Structure 1
Amino acid sequence: MATISMRTLAFGVCACAIAAPAFAGGLERGGYNIDLLFDPSDYALEGTATFVMPQRGVHGAVDNPEKSGGSLPGSWSTKADDSENYWSPRIGAKAVIGDFADCMADYSEPWGAHLKPGEWQGSSYNIETEVKSQNYAATCRVKFDVGKGTFSVIGGAFYQEISGFKDRQVISPVALGPAYPSLFSGVGTLDMEGDGWGWRAGLAYEIPEIAFRASLVYNSAVDFDLSGTVDLTSVPAIPTHPVLSIFGGRVVPVYGSVSMPDSVELKVQSGIAPDWLAFGSVKWTDWSQVQTVPFCPVGMSPCVAGVSALNTLDLFYRDGWTVSGGIGHKFNDQWSGAVSLTWDRGTSTVIGTQTDSWVLGSQVIYSPNRNLELKLSGALGLLTSGSSGAGAPCNAGSALPVCGDEATYRFGNDLVAAISTSVKVKF
């Protein structure tokens, strides 16, 4: 087989990068990506910005009046837009260290969510929820000549910050009567933030002559100790209510914890003909460890959903699987292109809208010279239909009341689109 250029090697993996995180499961947005570590240049700097446009809508919502002290106003819609557009940035720098190692440092936003349905028949479940993250990472590989190629041992660490809030209707406007909205809106707000550390380890093998690379990388879980407040100043203190009689009308300091999931990803690519490349990846993410995130008043321990929690984030995820594959072609020394297809298994179980998705991605790369690479990528995908109903027990195996049963609703097949631009300077 004729030699396939290292420039072709670069575009194959990038085609996966635009498709996979377009609307991945759980709270994943940018995810993790260390492809820059394998750039054959001595030094490389790359910046990427991806804009994602999910069009998820929900309908047929029915609230649970037991959760908010009465039915929500009949004028509130049974339909809502359940997703907001978002940006996913990434910037990284890579350098050769001596003759046997490469290292990279990068910034990304791996986790996130923004749901803003507003006032609707599911307001007792959610009016607006937003989660943001920041990830600062350093990763290195040590290389050894083995056979016709190069074997690498990969290791690194990352520091993450996470923050967010959730608004929901704690008390129905109907139950508030004439006190709504001049005195009380009945809306409670959770604000939280935290940080944590993680690490990664992996192996890779490359044969540059045929643009072959196989890599297997494990990213550890990240444990966050969360702190924040639950603002109930817009919710009256109701003497007969077991919780609001104590906390109504107050801003309550709270604490909690969550472990963002570990993951394993296998990536393989190889030249299949002169200037043609095939690539694919399989990733498992342990989202099933993220079920209910309880927030308890400071000083109340232990913090248990359904027992001592003042508020919870109910997710009830299952493990995520992402499978991607595609073909790339180098047209000439300046232009290359690739297409990919990605399937992501939905992580939602009893509640939520994260069902299976199928995403078709494409990418064009323009390299006017050996030091500059410009990329434009796009993706269009299908979000499959489903429903969200009553929740599951707050603690598996217990007889506690269910969590996440504030509302039920349905959703049909929807579209998601994404566009990404990237600039790489190398020398």
Structure 2
Amino acid sequence: MNILRLKALLGAGCFSLALIGAVLHPAHAGGLERGGYDIDLLFDPAPVATEAEATYVMPDRKYENAKGPGGVDFGFGTSAKGAEGYWVPRIGVKAQVVQGVDCMFDYSQPWGAHVAPGMWNGALSNIETDIKSDNYAGTCSYKMDAGKGQLRFIGGVYYQKVYGYKESLVAPVPGLTGRVDLTSSGWGWRAGIAYEIPDIALRASLVYNSKVKLDNISGTLDLTNVGKGLIPIYGTTQYMPDVVELKLQSGIAPGWLAFGSIKWTNWSLLQSVPICPVAAPSAACFTNGPAEATSLDLMYRDSWTVSGGIGHKFNDQWSAAGQLTWDQGTSHGYGSQTDTWTVGGGVAYTPKPNIEVRLAGAIGVLTSGHSGILIGDNGKVVGGDASYDFGNDLVTAVSGGIKIKF
């Protein structure tokens, strides 16, 4: 088989298989991750390429044996739903600016969480928490010939908005609730390098995404249900995590592609966020400080995500892929973000050379554990307001997307 035939079998159609794996990744990753960061569109060889995709994730996490402070049963219920379903959208456009220079602009929602257990024995800790994000990014690359392939240098910036609310009981009496609403924003940057040999669909990329500094956290503390009104608040400077990801793919036989990735996320940046009244001086606003009115407690540890898969191109119209992913949990005694194992598969249909439609699905296991009292490195004690168990629970996801090239 000559090299031109091999290139035809391993080219653009098989390249899309790695993207099928990418859209399956948000199936309930650890920490606050939803869509994460994805710049695969930047590598598309077309002069102009647009892409839109959405994933719906359905985690079936359940809390059991829930108790309040000191193991007290308030009679509100010992079980509750531990996670809500959510959408992960992404849209992007890539264009070749000049020969060797490509740029991509995209919108995504990298971070988020939605838990709404309602009135349960752990309601002093949480009735509902909903965190969302918006990310607007511009990324460019310059590629040059190197050996049998091409070396690509990658750089970009992104603006990120993170916002949400948390509602919980102030005292163990139904109706005595408080709510914190917060919003913040910041900038980040990315840099990376990649090496490609298109003839055999080989690509190796290493990309670093920086921390995002959130030094303008502001909002309100609503205590109207306990007679204290609406209080303007602020939070101390925090950071969304930096991420390092290595991705590999290569043709392994005519029509077959292997792909995988290893990612490290610096989740330990997110521990306890002290929330203080605007009237309080910043010098007194710190963890366990005199001005701390409440706090957003996460107490995460760093995590690794490892995935690998195989793709096959059946003909010029149809290709398919399967992927296995392990995501290390960020919780370690407080919270329910334990390890996740996910198996996914998807198909890509190319009715015309410039149009590609993708459909994928995934199923996985959220591993079991216990949440209770944890003492952080900064001396913060969390988990005293609720303890609970959770078993091995199911998570499923469906995803669809379309790419149009010009």
The two structures have a TM-score, normalised by structure 1, of 0.90
- Pick aligned residue for 1:312 from 251, 276, 295: 295
Of 87-96 and 384-393, the range deviating more from structure 2: 384-393
Report deviation, 1:106. 0.2
Whole-angstrom CA distance in 2 between matches of 1:404 and 1:304: 19
**1:391 matched to 2:403:** no
Q: Alpha-carbon deviations, 1:111-146, whole Å to 9, x = none?
A: 000000000000000000000100000000001010
Whole-angstrom CA distance in 1 between matches of 2:274 and 2:333: 18
Tell me the secondary structure at the aligned position of residue 337 of structure 1.
strand
Tell me which residue corresponds to 1:279.
Answer: 259
Whole-angstrom CA distance in 2 between matches of 1:10 and 1:412: 38
- Pick aligned residue for 1:19 from 14, 24, 47: 24
Q: Alpha-carbon deviations, 1:37-75, whole Å to 9, x = none?
A: 000111001000100000000100010069xxxx6642x
Tell me which residue corresponds to 2:186.
Answer: 196
Tell me which residue corresponds to 1:164.
Answer: 164
Q: Alpha-carbon deviations, 1:4-39, whole Å to 9, x = none?
A: 432234223213213322110110000000000000
Tell me which residue corresponds to 1:226.
Answer: 217
Q: Alpha-carbon deviations, 1:264-289, whole Å to 9, x = none?
A: 00000000000100000000000011
Tell me the secondary structure at the aligned position of residue 138 of structure 1.
strand
Tell me which residue corresponds to 2:277.
Answer: 297
Which runs of structure 2 are paired with 1:229-268 in the superposition (5 Å)?
Answer: 229-236=220-227, 249-256=228-235, 257-268=237-248
Tell me which residue corresponds to 1:63.
Answer: 68
Tell me the secondary structure at the aligned position of residue 338 of structure 2.
coil
Whole-angstrom CA distance in 1 between matches of 2:399 and 2:331: 27
Q: Please tell me the residue identity of whatever aligns with 1:191.
A: D
Any gaps of 5 or more consecutive residues in structure 1? 174-180, 237-248
**1:42 matched to 2:47:** yes
Tell me which residue corresponds to 1:408.
Answer: 387
Whole-angstrom CA distance in 2 between matches of 1:348 and 1:73: 26
Q: Please tell me the residue identity of whatever aligns with 1:228.
A: G
Tell me the secondary structure at the aligned position of residue 137 of structure 2.
strand
**8 Å CA contact 1:202, 1:218 repeated in 2:** yes
Tell me which residue corresponds to 2:38.
Answer: 33
Q: Please tell me the residue identity of whatever aligns with 2:402.
A: V
**8 Å CA contact 1:384, 1:414 repeated in 2:** yes
Report deviation, 1:299. 3.2
- Alignment RMSD, CA only? 1.4
Q: Please tell me the residue identity of whatever aligns with 1:197.
A: W
**8 Å CA contact 1:83, 1:114 repeated in 2:** yes
Tell me the secondary structure at the aligned position of residue 21 of structure 1.
coil
Any gaps of 5 or more consecutive residues in structure 2? none
Q: Please tell me the residue identity of whatever aligns with 1:78.
A: T
**8 Å CA contact 2:70, 2:384 repeated in 1:** no
Tell me the secondary structure at the aligned position of residue 209 of structure 1.
helix
Whole-angstrom CA distance in 1 between matches of 2:201 and 2:241: 32
**Which consecutive segments of 4 or more residues in structure 1 shift more than 3 A?**
none
The aligned length equals 396
**8 Å CA contact 1:11, 1:338 repeated in 2:** no
**8 Å CA contact 2:363, 2:396 repeated in 1:** yes
Report deviation, 1:357. 0.6
**8 Å CA contact 2:325, 2:341 repeated in 1:** yes
**8 Å CA contact 1:350, 1:392 repeated in 2:** no
Q: Please tell me the residue identity of whatever aligns with 2:176.
A: G
The percentage of counterpart residues that share the same residue type is: 54
Tell me the secondary structure at the aligned position of residue 22 of structure 2.
helix
**8 Å CA contact 1:8, 1:277 repeated in 2:** no
Q: Please tell me the residue identity of whatever aligns with 1:38.
A: F
Report deviation, 1:260. 0.4
Q: Alpha-carbon deviations, 1:230-269, whole Å to 9, x = none?
A: 1111114xxxxxxxxxxxx121111113210000000000
Tell me which residue corresponds to 1:54.
Answer: 59
Tell me which residue corresponds to 2:348.
Answer: 365
**8 Å CA contact 2:334, 2:382 repeated in 1:** no
**8 Å CA contact 2:21, 2:321 repeated in 1:** no
Q: Please tell me the residue identity of whatever aligns with 1:20.
A: H
**1:206 matched to 2:186:** no
Whole-angstrom CA distance in 2 between matches of 1:205 and 1:276: 20
